[in-house]
Structure 1
Amino acid sequence: MIRLLRLLAAAMLALAALPAHADELRPGYLELTQRDAQHWKVVWKAPVLGGLATRARPAYPQFCTQSAPKARIEGAALVAESTLTCTKDLAGSKVGIAGMDGAFTDALLRVAPLGRPVQASRLTANEAMVAVSAVPDAWQVARSYLALGVEHILTGYDHLLFVIALVLLLGNLWVVVRAATAFTVAHSLTLIGTTLGLFGLPQAPVEALIALSIIFLAVEIIKQDPAQPRLSERAPWLIAFGFGLIHGFGFAGALREIGLPEGDVPIALLTFNLGVELGQLAIVAATIATLALLRRFVPPALRPAVLAASYAIGITASFWFIERMIG
């Protein structure tokens, strides 16, 4: 029991150490669009946090020269546009990003040549350069944005804590599944609508409301009384749907920061959302499994463990809420 309490205390400290801006480590984005036989438009988007803006730069073959980039700051990212002039075709040569070794985030590469399919690749510190294919894989965009969706829910700590808190509140697998489905439908609606420009909300209040939604669930867990079920327990799908709408605006903001590949918006949007769902299912499964193990092997520790986790989640979310309100 003492060991369990120590582990819970360590978990609380770890949660408290999570960054205030829970979605701040965005991937970089490098796009090369061919204009004619020798010229390419280059767009390089590097998040200020994570190391790419200060450490990394696009890298090209020796037969290419780049014009002086026109740089600007958009949100929390450095955006630079330039023209790349190459004396021969890029097919078979490597392009990518130099200086990713010290960065804490990955990057997306999109190469759109004339008369050939678009190539999309994920760049990491271990694989920062990729060969431009003469006939690229048509599923590259789908794979890249699917991985981004999974990564976003697993490293977007505010969304992650919301899903964990939802499971802690409801406990029962099938009730969780129904609530998670309502959450999925809701955030899919606002993610798609916002990304396609049908509607939208300013990002700052959205981020504050996301933190508030986590605080609400933490309080609901702590005040649970089997004799008097609260609204969140009587109609969990309604609560999950309402908060899902808000979280969808948050997902859309992240996707806007990442950037959607021009010409591949539908497949990128669909697979990003699917990736979010896969990551969400992984979180639900891991939390349910942890609760089941506690219930089976140390039943007396189940409620104290849930309460300890709820206080840790609530404290972390409260810190985020205050930080986001003061800006």
Structure 2
Amino acid sequence: MKYVLLYLLMFFSTELLADDMRPASVNINLVNDTDFDLVWKIPIRNGVRETLTVVFPEDTKLLAPKRTHIINNAYIEYTSFQRKSGVVGLKLRIDGIERSSGDVLLRVSDTQQQTITTVLNIEQPSFIVNSLVATTAFNTALTYIELGIEHILIGLDHLLFVACLVYISGTGKKLLLTITGFTIAHSITLFLSATGVFVIPIQPVEAVIALSIIFLAWEIAKNRKHSLSLRYPVLVSSSFGLLHGFGFAAVLSEIGLPAAEKTLALLSFNIGVEVGQLMFVFALFIVFKFIAIMYKSLSLEKLRIPVSYACGSIATIWMIERLAVF
């Protein structure tokens, strides 16, 4: 595919640091009609905790001092509070979310396991609990599809890998097979890891994900028509797709899965990832076509070296940062 470099430069010019797409989360569990336990988790991104705060209405009061821990590169706060009028009408607001790079997943559950799950973000920084009902399958699916789409569209390393796959595929048919191989492979490891069948540490996985981009950038630079990557891109995409699946699973483990509908939530998250991936590929084609019209003198060969160096340099920064945490 032509003209990838210009798109990459626009897309990554302000995002040279390794991405961390774990969402923050608020879990509220009703102990009885008036008392609540709260677990507030904020990811620590590149050594810095975002300044997010859960704000409750004035008619609530703390029952116990806050307890805080830092576990798995996340700040976790535990506390209990009381609201005499109960859960109905409870309004929560997330201060600082307008400066956040991710979403906040809110889950409220009562003693009967009736639950409300929603996503708070810049567009919706607050939420009022009208009532708790048994979560429908449709609502669960919709929530996790949305999370999957958002994750892939702001997951810079996964998008850069897909962009490289588009470049080395060459033809539409090869691209379809290559993306399909990547999809099947990361779906397998996502399911295995998220269900606890096969789990590996995420830090080395993230480093190897960056290395996979460096490998593709090197293949683009060499441009050897008989190399393994250019002859069989589906083999390369499938192999590295297994690693990317573990990366997706790490994010999903931070979000959590509803106890009663784990399979549905997992499938929906994966569907969301695929939808987001297709949206990205479609956006690339639009950008390619536009640039092809505006700059007819540009060609695939002219962009090959700049594209490979741009992709390889960004991925190298990510790999160094991720190795530094070992």
Q: For the superposition of Structure 1 and Structure 2, which TM-score range results when normalised by the shorter chain?
A: 0.7 to 0.9
Q: Which residue of the partner structure matches residue 161 of structure 1?
A: 160
Instruction: Give secondary structure in 1 for the equivalent of 2:199.
Output: coil
1:61 aligns with 2:60: no
* 1:74 aligned residue (66, 71, 76): 71
* 1:47 aligned residue (43, 65, 73): 43
CA contact (8 A) 1:149 1:276 kept: yes
Give how far 1:176 is off.
1.0
Q: Which residue of the partner structure matches residue 129 of structure 1?
A: 126
Give how far 1:268 is off.
2.4
CA contact (8 A) 2:7 2:287 kept: no
Give how far 1:60 is off.
2.6
Give how far 1:21 is off.
2.5
Give how far 1:286 is off.
2.3
* TM-score with structure 2 setting the length: 0.87
Q: Which residue of the partner structure matches residue 324 of structure 1?
A: 322
Amino acid across the alignment from 1:169: I
* 2:22 aligned residue (23, 26, 36): 26
Q: Which residue of the partner structure matches residue 286 of structure 1?
A: 283
Structure 2: distance between partners of 1:280 and 1:21 = 19
1:113 aligns with 2:103: no
Structure 2: distance between partners of 1:62 and 1:261 = 30
> Identity of aligned pairs, percent?
34
1:15 aligns with 2:12: yes
Structure 1: distance between partners of 2:261 and 2:68 = 25
Q: Which residue of the partner structure matches residue 270 of structure 2?
A: 273
Structure 1: distance between partners of 2:261 and 2:214 = 37
Superposed counterparts of 1:113-262, under 5 Å: 113-115=110-112, 117-134=114-131, 136=133, 138=136, 139-225=138-224, 228-262=225-259
Segments of structure 1 that go 5 or more residues without pairing to the other structure are none
CA contact (8 A) 1:50 1:104 kept: no
Higher mean C-alpha deviation, range 196-205 or range 284-293: 284-293
Instruction: Give secondary structure in 2 for the equivalent of 1:26.
Output: coil
Q: Which residue of the partner structure matches residue 309 of structure 2?
A: 311
- Calculate the aligned-residue CA RMSD, in Å: 2.9
Structure 2: distance between partners of 1:159 and 1:176 = 16
Q: 1:262-306: per-residue Cα shift (whole Å, max 9, x none)?
A: 444323222211111111111222223444555676264332234
Instruction: Give secondary structure in 2 for the equivalent of 1:72.
Output: strand
Give how far 1:242 is off.
0.7
Structure 2: distance between partners of 1:291 and 1:102 = 32
Give how far 1:244 is off.
0.5
Instruction: Give secondary structure in 1 for the equivalent of 2:276.
Output: helix
Instruction: Give secondary structure in 2 for the equivalent of 1:55.
Output: coil
Q: 1:100-154: per-residue Cα shift (whole Å, max 9, x none)?
A: 3443432111111234731111112342221113255633333232222112111
Structure 1: distance between partners of 2:38 and 2:261 = 17
Amino acid across the alignment from 2:285: I
CA contact (8 A) 1:116 1:134 kept: no
Instruction: Give secondary structure in 1 for the equivalent of 2:97.
Output: coil
Give how far 1:19 is off.
4.0
Structure 1: distance between partners of 2:121 and 2:25 = 12
CA contact (8 A) 2:57 2:92 kept: yes
Distance 1:239 1:316, change over 3 A: same
Amino acid across the alignment from 2:315: A
Distance 1:326 1:16, change over 3 A: farther
Amino acid across the alignment from 1:212: L
Structure 1: distance between partners of 2:218 and 2:26 = 43
Distance 1:231 1:208, change over 3 A: same
* 1:37 aligned residue (33, 37, 54): 33
Segments of structure 2 that go 5 or more residues without pairing to the other structure are none
Q: 1:198-241: per-residue Cα shift (whole Å, max 9, x none)?
A: 1111112101110111111111122224xx42212322222111
The number of residues matched between the two structures is 320
CA contact (8 A) 1:27 1:107 kept: yes
